[in-house]
Amino acid sequence: MNSVVEVKNLVAGYGQRVLIRNLCFSIPSPAFVAIIGHNGAGKTTLFRAFQGKIDYQGQLLVQNHDLRHLSNPSGKGLLAYLPQKNVVNFPIKVHDLVVMGLFRKKRFFENYTSEDYALAAHTLEQLQLSHLIDHDFTTLSGGEQQLVWLAQLMLQDADINLLDEPTQQLDVYYKNQVFGLLQSWVSERRKTILCITHDLQNLMTMEGYLLNLSKPEPMLEIISPETVLQNQAFLEAGRQPVQ
Ligand SMILES: Nc1ncnc2c1ncn2[C@@H]1O[C@H](COP(=O)(O)OP(=O)(O)OP(=O)(O)O)[C@@H](O)[C@H]1O
């Protein structure tokens, strides 16, 4: 069966502590998937498995390729990852950081062209960040920085995007904007988005699936106001004791 992402009997954790037990799901065509669950439920751990950063049992397939045997999936434009925190300790202009999203179209040390910068500027404009284009990234607010990373991710143009709480530091206006943007990546650009989030209210109007990793047997559920409310009530009711 063709699928964009398939997770088969995934078991992952740290040493004796198993956080993900026999997780199975399949995303048949480009879609938005919200990954939800309590703090410590294993959401980022799932992404670490996708990036090959931790050992796991089972299989992770992207576009029918087993990730274990696939070299450099980000260089091939299959997978892109936006971490929860990304730190830069040196002064760099916003457009210089964003243009780096085009890395896989460049050879080592090849310079970015004026066309590349025009593309970066256009992406920043889409996020209403044009006024920051020449600013030093390290002077931006947390939310502004988060949006700049998102612009860089957009330029990567990967088929499957793993986003770890991309709206965590955003104000209510930008939360809405970003969820709308992610929806358009799916509908207009045929991208698949796996998005870890605690912003359940924003999911109400989304189309796609949610995966609640706090449930004993997590599975993809079609997003609707009812499923979002059900899952919110489930999370509010409490959490499993840490094993
Ligand atoms: N390298 C590690 N070694 C041991 N335990 C770890 C390691 N990394 C994470 N953990 C633990 O695994 C659990 C799951 O972490 P994870 O980051 O996947 O949670 P999460 O669902 O993304 O949580 P949050 O919503 O708080 O971001 C946590 O309790 C964490 O302390």
> How high is the ipTM of this complex?
0.96
The answer to whether 158 and 77 have CB atoms below 8 angstroms apart is: yes
What is the 58 CA–ligand 1 centroid distance (Å)? 20
Q: How many Å apart are CA 218 and CA 223, to the nearest integer?
A: 14
Domains in the chain, ordered, with CATH?
5-236 (3.40.50.300)
User: What are the beta bridge partners of residue 81?
Assistant: 162
- Ligand 1 atom with least separation from CA of 196: 22
Q: How many CB atoms lie within 10 A of CB 140?
A: 16
Q: Quick: pLDDT tens for 90-117.
A: 999 999 999 999 988 877 777 899 999 9
What is the 118 CA–ligand 1 centroid distance (Å)? 39
Q: How many Å apart are CA 104 and CA 157, to the nearest integer?
A: 10
The answer to whether 11 and 21 have CB atoms below 8 angstroms apart is: yes
**Segment holding 119, helix H or strand E:** helix 114-126
- Span 21-40, mean pLDDT? 96
Whose C-alpha lies nearest to ligand 1, atom 1? 14
Spatial CA neighbour of 170 closest among 198, 192, 191: 198
Whose C-alpha lies nearest to ligand 1, atom 10? 14
What is the 163 CA–ligand 1 centroid distance (Å)? 16
CA distances from 186 to 1, 17, 102, 217 (A): 21, 35, 20, 26
**What is the reported pTM?**
0.93
Report the DSSP pairing between strands 192-196 and 160-164. Answer: parallel
How does residue 227 score in pLDDT terms, banded at 50, 70 and 90? very high
What is the 42 CA–ligand 1 centroid distance (Å)? 6
